[in-house]
Structure 1
C-alpha cells in the first residue's frame, strides 16, 4: 500500500478512535454532574487556567452550580462547592467520600506507604496511631506545648539580633516551625545554622516548589506522558528520595539507642509499635510506613503553619490597631513574665478571632487534597461512580459572602459577636472536614497561637513602608494562595 493509500486509512482510524472516546464518555456523562464539554485526550485542559485553578473552578461554579465535573485528560473529576454541599459529602456521607484520590505527581513513597495517599486498613491504622501519639504526647520530660514554647523563645532570641533592621521573616519562621516537628519526631531541635537542618529544609522547599509548579499540575492531566517528558516533575522523586534517606538515617540512629520502656519521640513510639507487632505478618507498622509518615508530618506541617504566621505578621504591619488589640489581651491575660500557653486563648477572644481570620483570608488550602468515592454515590441527583476523584473547593466557603460580611477584606469581626466574644462559624473549614481532615490541626493551631502571642509579647512590629500602601492580598499559586514576601522590623517592648 503506497503513502496515499495509507493516509486515508490512518485518518479513518483516528476519527474512529476519537468517536469511540466521545461515545464512551457520553455513555457515562449522564450519571455525572454537568460541566464543560471535554476534548478527547485533552479533557478540559484548554478551559482551565492551570496557573490559577481556583479562579477557573469558581467560574465553573457560577456556570454549572455547586457540583460539576471537569476532565483532567480522560479522567473525570467532580468538584464540590459551598458549605452545604461540602458538608453533605465529607461529613454526612463521610464513609462514601472518605477515600484519598490519587495525587498524580507524588511518587511511590506516598502512593504505597504512609497516610497521605493510602486507603483502607493501612491508612486507618496509621492515622489512628498518629492522632493518638500526637494527642497523648508525653515522651521524655516535655509535652508538645513545652517544645513549642521553647522554640518560640529561641526565635525571639534570633530576632533580637536583628536590632531593629528590616528582614524577611520567611526563613526564621520556617526554621522555628520545622524545629518543632524535629523535636516531636527526632527528639531534638537543631541549631538554625546546622548543616543537616539546612539540608532538610532546602530539600523540603524543593519538594513543595515542585509540587506547586505548572509542570506538576499538568501531571494531573497526562500522568503517563509527564513521567517521560523532561521538566521539574522529574526532579520530584529525587528530592523525595533524599528526604527518605535522611529520615531513614535518623530511624537507624534511634534503633541503636532504642528503649521500648522510655519512648523519646514519635519515631520511638512507632518503633515500639513495630516491636509489639513483629510477629504479625500483616502489620502496617513497618519501616516504609514509618519513613513515609514522618515525611508527611514534615511536608504538611512546615510551610502551611509558617505561612499562616507570616501572613498574620503582614496584616499586623498594615493594621497596627489590631496589633494593639492583641497586645492588650496579652498584657491582661499573660503579662510579660511567663510564656504564652495554649489555654490562654480561652480568655483572648480577639486574638483567636484574628487567627481564624488569617486562615480564612489566606485560604491556604483553597483546593483541598482530592477525595475518592469508595462506593457508587447518589448525590444531589447525580450518580458518581465508585473510584471517581472528588475535589472540595474550600475557597468557595472561606470567601463566601453568604457567611462572611466582607469576604474580600481582612476582618476579625467575622468571628466575634456583638459582645466581643468568640463566635462559632460553621462555614469555617481551614483544615477540611470528615475522615480526611488534617490530622495535624491541633498541633498547627497550638503553634500559631503560641508563636504569634510570644512575638507580640516581646516585640512591636515596624515597617519602612507606608502602612496604607502595604498589600496584604495573598499571591496566587497554581492550586491555592501564599503570603507575599515583605520586610519586617521588630523592636523590643
Structure 2
C-alpha cells in the first residue's frame, strides 16, 4: 500500500511539473508574440507591404539568391514603394527608375541619412564614402571630385580602356581557340581600368595577389547579399558568436583591407605632395592638410 501511495504521489507531482513547464512555455510564447507585435508593428507612416512573421519579420519572404527579382515581384503586388521588416528593423523598398530619381535626386536631402547595417559597420566601422552618413560622408565627398579629376566618367579615360582591351584580347588569343571561362579575365580587365586611378598602376593577369582579390571580392559581395547577412543585420549580438558564412565575409574584407593597406604603405614611401599621381596620393595629401589645420 505504501508503494502504491508513493507511486501515486510521484505521478501527481510529475503531472503537475509537466503542466507547469507547459504553462511556462505557453506564457513565454504569448509574451514574446505580444511584445513583438506591440514593439515592432508597421509604423503608421510606412507604406504597405507583406505581412511580417514574429521575431524574424520578412527574412524568409525574399529569395536571397535572386533578391532583386523578388523585390521587383513584391513591388508589383504592393506598389513601387513598399515596406518590409528584417528582424526588428523596418525598411522601405523603392522600385523603378522614376521613383529612385524622385527619392535620391529630387528629395535627396530628405533621404541623405541611412540606417547602420551591423554587418557593414563591423566591416568598415562607419568609414568610407559608401557606408558613412552626415558629416563623415561630407568629409569623404572630395573622393568623387578627385576620381573625376583623374578621368572617371570622362572621355579622357578612353585610352586606358583601349589599352586594357588590348591586354584582354591578348589573354583571349593565348587560349589558342580552346574553350575557357572568360569571367575572371573580364573581371580583371574591368578592375584594371579603375586600378590606375586608385593605385597608379594596373595589375598583370597572372599577379597572384590580384587574382586572389578578384576571387575574394565577388564571394564577399555574394555572402553580403545572402540570408546569412540578413540574419546578422537582424540579430548581430547572436550571429557575432555563431559560425557561418557571415564569419567568412568578415575575414574576406580583412584580407581586402590588408591588400589596400599594403598599397597605401608603398605610396607613403615615395609620396610627393606636389605630384599627385592617383587617388591614394590625393587622400594622403588630404590627411596631411587636415592634420596641418588641426595643429
User: Do these two structures clear the TM 0.5 threshold for a shared fold by scoring above it?
Assistant: yes
Change (3 A) 1:109 1:220: closer
Q: State the match for 2:103 in structure 1.
A: 89
Q: State the match for 2:185 in structure 1.
A: 172
Change (3 A) 1:62 1:187: closer
Q: State the match for 2:133 in structure 1.
A: 119
Change (3 A) 1:198 1:73: same
Change (3 A) 1:33 1:104: same
Change (3 A) 1:56 1:181: closer
Change (3 A) 1:144 1:5: same
> Per the alignment, in what secondary structure is the counterpart of residue 97 of structure 1?
coil
Task: Pick one of 14, 23, 27 that aligns with 2:29.
Answer: 14
Task: Pick one of 57, 65, 71 that aligns with 1:51.
Answer: 65
Task: Pick one of 107, 119, 141 that aligns with 1:105.
Answer: 119
Task: Pick one of 260, 266, 272 that aligns with 2:273.
Answer: 260
Normalized per residue, which structure has more strand? 1
Bigger RCO (CA 8 Å, 6+ sep): 1
CA shift at 1:162, angstroms?
Answer: 2.9
Q: State the match for 2:8 in structure 1.
A: none
Distance 1:46 1:243 in 2: 30
CA shift at 1:6, angstroms?
Answer: 4.8
Change (3 A) 1:145 1:59: closer
Q: How does 1:325-340 map onto structure 2 within 5 Å?
A: none
Does the alignment pair 1:34 with 2:48?
yes
Distance 1:193 1:55 in 2: 36
Q: How does 1:404-419 map onto structure 2 within 5 Å?
A: none
Does the alignment pair 1:73 with 2:87?
yes
Deviations 1:126-177 (A, max 9, x none): 1x21221111117xxxx64433332222222222323333332212111212
Confirm or deny: 8 A CA contact 1:213 1:232 kept in the other structure: no
Q: State the match for 1:209 in structure 2.
A: 222
Distance 1:84 1:195 in 2: 43
Confirm or deny: 8 A CA contact 1:50 1:217 kept in the other structure: no
CA shift at 1:281, angstroms?
Answer: 4.8
Confirm or deny: 8 A CA contact 1:40 1:74 kept in the other structure: no
Change (3 A) 1:232 1:2: same
Change (3 A) 1:147 1:56: closer
Confirm or deny: 8 A CA contact 2:64 2:225 kept in the other structure: no
Does the alignment pair 1:155 with 2:162?
no
Distance 2:19 2:80 in 1: 51
> Per the alignment, in what secondary structure is the counterpart of residue 278 of structure 1?
helix
Distance 2:288 2:71 in 1: 47
Q: State the match for 1:226 in structure 2.
A: 239
Change (3 A) 1:83 1:152: closer
Task: Pick one of 240, 253, 256 that aligns with 1:243.
Answer: 256
Distance 1:152 1:267 in 2: 25
CA shift at 1:191, angstroms?
Answer: 1.8
- TM-score when normalising by structure 2: 0.82
Distance 2:28 2:230 in 1: 31
Distance 1:202 1:87 in 2: 33
5+ residue gaps, structure 1 = 283-493
Q: How does 1:438-457 map onto structure 2 within 5 Å?
A: none
CA shift at 1:89, angstroms?
Answer: 1.9
Distance 2:52 2:227 in 1: 20
> Per the alignment, in what secondary structure is the counterpart of residue 77 of structure 1?
strand
Q: State the match for 1:307 in structure 2.
A: none
Query: Cα RMSD over matched residues?
Result: 2.6
Please identify, of 68-77 and 79-88, the stretch whose mean Cα deviation from structure 2 is larger. 79-88
Q: How does 1:258-297 map onto structure 2 within 5 Å?
A: 258-281=271-294
CA shift at 1:251, angstroms?
Answer: 0.9
- TM-score when normalising by structure 1: 0.51
> Which structure has the bigger radius of gyration?
2
> Per the alignment, in what secondary structure is the counterpart of residue 162 of structure 1?
coil
